[in-house]
Structure 1
Amino acid sequence: MIRYRDLIGAKVVEKKNGERIGEISDVIFKEDFQSFVGFLIKGGKILKQKKTIELERVTSFGKDAIMIDLGKNLSIKNSNIEEGITEEEIKFIDKEILTQDGECLGYVKDLLFSKDDGKLIGYIITEGLIEDITKGRSFIPNFSNVKTNKEHLIVDNEVKDLISKNKEKYKKLLELVER
């Protein structure tokens, strides 16, 4: 698993020659927001402007850099992933999370993805600084009953019960991701 905040600013290095390509400036999601398909890359010697790179080119997500394989094609081209949507456009981070009854459960603090296929696993949520310190952050799995719009993440009322019931399990999951 990998967090959105760990991806942003991560160095991107070509694995064959070790050349720094640039750094990730944003994640590109599929239109249904259920997974990401690539990254926006900026900087580096090869790139003078932001370009996209497909998730398939990533060979490993390391602690210090993301390794990619450009193959024979030593340039990064704009591709069909440009049809996707970036986090900057969606603004998941700090989005308010509401139940169908209009109760605020907190705010999205981070996103959690599968490294293997880019699927959105869920949302790390905060109820505020004091609550984070005293109770810790919580987690909402990315179920089909989680809907997003420009202002809010809307969850079924059952999700509130699920969060309460599994809070300790989610804390352990978040501790594993922190390591």
Structure 2
Amino acid sequence: MTTTSEPVRQRSSILGTQVISKATARRLGVVSQLWLDMDQRQVVAVSVRDNLIAGTPQYMSLSSIALLGPDAILVDNEDVFEDINVDAYTSLIGSEVVTETGELLGKVRDFKFDPGNGEIFQLILSSLGIPLIPSQVVSTYELDVNEIIAVGRDRIIVTEGMEERLTQLTVGILERLGIGKPPWERDEDYISTVDPNDMLGTGSSRPSTARTVTTRASEDMWDDDNWSKSRPAARRKAPEPYYDEELEEADNWSDEAEEYEEPYEEDNRYRRDNEDAWSDEEPYEAPRVNIPQKQRQPEYEEEKDY
């Protein structure tokens, strides 16, 4: 059981608080995060680091805290750290808060809880949900956790008309100047990140829809004892040509002008190819050739003086 001087504490007042061992008076680190179990609506674990920015986080349960003071947290010894699966829990910071009708109320920036048992009382909302922005800059509102219907990973659903029952804690500068408005008064600027059909329900069961079962193609196992030749696939016939008889008959009786080809003149250059190559049309008369007659001359002349 955690001992504290204050019955209600805010998350922002605990972040950065030093954790000190009572046995050795050694500083173990500072608180960097609080983890909540929203099914139980309570804080269950605390993250401790060397500082708020760097360092490997170590986890301890809220019940391990011996004294929760305004300036320091005392634990019995240095063996308070445990192997806690924080993935099963949520920090709740930055989660959207919407009504059953989808009306955006803001985002969680802080919460109030009982440090003795970790029970959560109120959520503190703003339009941005960033704890580093001072409450004097943005308007903040308080929401009772009893108005929560369902809690998702990044979204909280509350009862319808909750925007009229919120308690305003601070008025931001923009709202004082008349520039800023509460999130539920500027619905046209809000784009829902989740389809309303995918939101968490109010507890009423939805009608079950029939699931379609898809069958997978299975490959037959080969059996050497029981097998048979596969039946040959039927041969596909070639498609027969299609003739439009009506179209052909219509062409015979159409009013289109008939086209006539020019008369073909046969080329006479090769007409004599089939005739006798040695036949003459007229008898051939050879020209007369004048051949001079040669006179015989003796080869030598006889000498008359002998």
After TM superposition, the score normalised by the length of structure 1 is 0.71
Displacement after TM superposition at 1:157 (Å): 0.8
Q: Does 1:38 align with 2:45?
A: yes
State the match for 1:152 in structure 2: 155
Report 1:103-142 matches (<5 A): 103-127=103-127, 133=136, 136-142=139-145
Distance 1:14 1:147, change over 3 A: same
Q: RMSD of the TM alignment (CA)?
A: 3.0
Q: CA deviation at 1:31?
A: 5.8
Distance 1:56 1:31, change over 3 A: same
Whose strand proportion is higher, 1 or 2? 1
Structure 2: tracts of 5 or more residues without a match = 1-7, 130-134, 171-306
CA distance in 2, matches of 1:26, 1:33: 18
1:75 aligned to which of 73, 79, 103: 79
- Tell me the equivalent position of 2:33: 26
Of 1, 6, 17, which residue of structure 2 is paired with 1:10?
17
User: Is the contact between residue 51 and residue 76 of structure 1 (CA under 8 Å) also seen in structure 2?
Assistant: no
Deviations 1:18-77 (Å, cap 9, x if unpaired)? 211111222232362611122122239xxx84322121221222222111123xxx4234
Q: TM-score, length-normalised on structure 2?
A: 0.44
Q: How does 1:80-99 map to 2 (within 5 A)?
A: 81-82=84-85, 84-87=88-91, 92-99=92-99
Q: Distance in 1 between matches of 2:136 and 2:15?
A: 24
Give CA-to-partner distance per residue, 1:79-131, whole Å, 9 cap, x none: 5x4365242xxxx22222111111111221112111111111121011369xx
Tell me the SS of whatever aligns to 2:85: helix
Whose helix proportion is higher, 1 or 2? 1
Based on CA coordinates, which of the two structures has the bigger radius of gyration? Answer: 2
Q: Aligned partners of 1:145, 1:23: CA distance in 2, in Å?
A: 31
Between the aligned residues of both structures, percent identity stands at: 19
Gaps of at least 5 residues in structure 1 are 173-179
Give aligned pairs, total.
Answer: 154
Whether the aligned pair in 1 keeps the contact of 2:90 and 2:153 (CA below 8 Å) is: no
Q: Structure with the greater relative contact order (CA < 8 A, sep ≥ 6): 1 or 2?
A: 1
SS at match of 1:143: helix
Change (3 A) 1:3 1:40: same
